[in-house]
Amino acid sequence: MLEIEDVHAYYGESHILRGVSLVVAPGEIVCLLGRNGAGKTTTILTIMGYLQPRRGRIRYNNRDVVGLPPYAVARLGVGFVPQERRIFPSLTVLENLTVFARKAFLDDGADVAAPWTLTRIFEVFPALQAREGNLGFQLSGGEQQMLSIARALMLNPQLLLLDEPSEGLAPMIVQQIVEVLAKLKGEGLGILLIEQNLRAALAVGDRHYVMNKGEICFSGGAADLENNDLVLRNYLSV
Quote the CA–CA distance of 3 and 33 in Å, as a whole number.
18
Confirm if 60 and 2 have CB atoms less than 8 A apart. Answer: yes
Output the CA–CA distances (angstroms, integers) from residue 12 to 54, 139, 225, in the order listed.
11, 37, 34
- Here the CATH number for the domain that contains residue 35 is 3.40.50.300
Residue 56 zone, left/alpha/beta (φ > 0; ψ -120 to 50; rest) = left
DSSP-based three-state secondary structure for 91:
coil
Does the model's pTM come out above 0.85? Answer: yes
Q: What is the pLDDT of residues 131-184, one digit of tens each?
A: 989 899 999 888 998 899 999 998 889 999 999 888 878 888 888 888 889 888
Quote the CA–CA distance of 81 and 191 in Å, as a whole number.
11
Q: Which domain holds residue 42?
A: 2-235
Quote the CA–CA distance of 16 and 9 in Å, as a whole number.
6
Proportion of the chain above pLDDT 70, given as a percent? 94
Per the document, the length of the chain is 238
Quote the CA–CA distance of 68 and 124 in Å, as a whole number.
32
Comparing C-alpha atoms, which of 159, 175, 181 is closest to residue 58? 159
pLDDT surpassing 90 at residue 112: no
Confirm if 217 and 235 have CB atoms less than 8 A apart. Answer: yes
Higher pLDDT, 87 or 109: 87
Name the domain count of the chain. 1
Q: What is the pLDDT of residues 66-100, one digit of tens each?
A: 999 999 999 899 999 998 888 889 999 999 998 87
Quote the CA–CA distance of 67 and 225 in Å, as a whole number.
34
Q: What is the pLDDT of residue 111?
A: 44
- Between helix 141-153 and helix 171-186 the angle, nearest 10°, is 10
Q: What is the pLDDT of residues 126-140, one digit of tens each?
A: 889 999 898 999 998
How much is the mean pLDDT over the chain?
A: 88
